[in-house]
Amino acid sequence: MSQLNFSTKALRTGVTPEINRASIQTPIFQTVSYVFESTDHAASVFNLSVATPIYTRLNNPTNGVLEQRLATLEGGIAAVVTASGQAALATTFLTILQSGDHLVSSSSIYGGSYNLLNHTLRKFGIHTTFVDSDDPSNYLSAIRPNTKAIFIESVGNPKLDVLDIEAIAHIANKNNIPLIVDNTLATPYLLNPIQHGANVVIHSITKYISGNGSSLGGAIIDGGNFDWANGKFPAFSQPSDGYHGLVFTDHFGKAALTGKLVAEGLRDFGSALSPFNAFQILQGLETLSLRIRKQSDNALAIAKWLETQDEVAWVNYPGLESSEYHNLAKKYLPEGQSGIVTFGPKGGYEAAKTIADSTQLFTLMANFGDSKSLIIHPASTTHQQLSDEEQEQSGVSPDLIRLSIGLEDIEDLKQDLKAALKQANQLALVG
């Protein structure tokens, strides 16, 4: 499979006669548990000496196909799927980190992720330092003796900053700490962070990978390229109390993270993906390459058009030559810059809200990556739990509008935005 191209792998990886039988589609294994051959067989499964399904909270054949497919597309050795993208993040951090640990994160991340790192993990004794990613050396400056991870988004949401993954990975590698990259916005079609030195890749597969807004899901892809036995992670390299002295690095080798994510992460935190949702997401994944190419083309066209509109104060899209991240986009995203565009109207905060309320084709919704076009005003919605200073750090200005460009006819999308811009301008004049 490794020699096949992306679209073929997105359709065929993980398909076996044993799983699919006579079906062209992967069956939904809608079951809680699985029949064991004997008590001895069951015992060998529970002590992790035999790899076979135990309980769907831990593993499931439908989920397994999705996991193998995602791992292949991202260039990892294995993957673990979860109930949501946020569950993927939380399970990863709580599996790798423990009380007293520290991590360094980009400040330009999704508001929910920022809240998880800045507030929720703090309750568990895990502290985060947020840095400006425009200068990779900021990560080096923020590292402490107890720093156990660096976390970034390959393309920040909604700042749309393209990060220099190779530079940040070099810093992480030199300090023997893993680089964890949320690659949701870029997708594995446009960017493979593992190829640039990342160790773990996170996805909200709710977004572009599913592409239809029907199913929540998350994924953790293990790059298999980090030494968990380097002395900084004793929970990986020393006997586990939860498995009668099993040593994850000895038992699972390069897949030590995957083994621990399943054996402890899914077992103890319970963030399992529904097999039905896995089936739905598999259907979406089959067309990812077609959708993301078209959405990237449409997004660039909309961004260029917005730059010509009198009512618009600024436009941000990495594919624009005016973007400060254009050169990094050419390096890391040569096949397209995804489907998210942000802009600010001249009327500021109130104008932005009016535009979000006025569009007809752009649906007001807290999601992105759908085949249908979506719109949101982050300052009053997705990032409203952050302080003004935190919003600014994450790239959210009061006037920012985030567009998730879909597959509609580009001229129809322009006309919808034009009407909303006109309405906001008229209200501003009346006011």
Percent of the chain with pLDDT over 90: 84
pLDDT band at 11 (very low <50, low <70, confident <90, very high): very high
With cut-offs at 50, 70 and 90, classify the pLDDT of residue 1.
Answer: low
The stretch 118-144 carries a mean pLDDT of 97
β-partners of residue 345 are 312
pLDDT number for residue 429: 66
- Bigger pLDDT: 15 or 246? 246
* Lowest mean pLDDT across 60-64, 132-136, 241-245: 241-245
What pLDDT is recorded for position 2? Answer: 63
Residue 360 has a pLDDT of: 96
User: For the packed helices 410-430 and 348-358, what is the interaxial angle rounded to 10 degrees?
Assistant: 130
The predicted pLDDT at position 428 comes to 64
Average pLDDT over residues 235-255: 93
Mean pLDDT for 370-377 is 97
Strand partners, 149: 103
- The enclosing H or E element of 78 equals strand 78-82
Contact assessment for residue 211 and residue 291, using Cβ atoms and an 8 Å cutoff? yes
Instruction: Please provide the CATH number assigned to the domain covering 6-284.
Output: 3.40.640.10
Greater model confidence, 427 or 145: 145
- Predicted pLDDT of residue 392: 78
- Domain limits, CATH 3.90.1150.10, in the chain: 288-430
Q: Which two tokens stand for residue 10?
A: 């997105």
pTM listed for this prediction: 0.95
For residue 152, the cross-strand partners are 181
Residue of 143, 177, 145, 182 whose CA lies nearest to 165: 182
| Structure confidence by residue, pLDDT tens digits, 306-357 | 999 999 999 999 999 999 999 999 999 999 999 999 999 999 999 999 999 9
Cα–Cα distances (Å) from 161 to 165, 185, 397, in that order, read 12, 11, 14
Backbone angles phi, psi at 340, to 5 degrees: -100, 130
Q: Is the dihedral of CA 395, 401, 405, 409 positive or negative?
A: negative
Predicted confidence (pLDDT) per residue in 387-406, tens digit: 788 787 778 899 999 999 99
Q: Please give the residue that has the higher pLDDT: either 421 or 243.
A: 421
Mean pLDDT of 403-427: 94
Where in the sequence of the chain do the CATH 3.40.640.10 domains occur? 6-284
Q: Please write the tens of the pLDDT for every residue from 183-221.
A: 999 999 999 999 999 999 999 999 999 999 999 999 999
134-137 LR contacts (CB < 8 Å, sep 24+): 134/161, 136/164, 136/167, 136/168, 136/171, 137/171
Whole-angstrom distance, CA of residue 93 vs CA of residue 70: 20
Q: What is the pLDDT of residue 430?
A: 58
With a cut of 80, say whether residue 284 has pLDDT above it. Answer: yes
pLDDT at 431: 54
What is the band of 23 on the pLDDT scale with cuts at 50, 70, 90?
A: confident
Residue 192 — φ and ψ, nearest 5°? -120, 95
Closest to 151 in 3D by CA, of 125, 126, 128, 119: 128
375-387, pLDDT tens digit by residue?
A: 999 988 877 777 7
pLDDT of residue 129: 98
The whole-chain average pLDDT of the chain stands at 94
Does 98 score more than 90 pLDDT? Answer: yes
Query: Measured between alpha carbons, how far is 76 from 60 in angstroms, rounded to an integer?
Result: 20
In this prediction, what percent of the chain has a pLDDT beyond 70?
Answer: 99
Q: Specify the CATH number of the domain 288-430.
A: 3.90.1150.10
Angstrom CA distances, 379 to 238, 285, 355, 387, stand at 45, 31, 14, 10
Strands 340-345 and 401-404: antiparallel
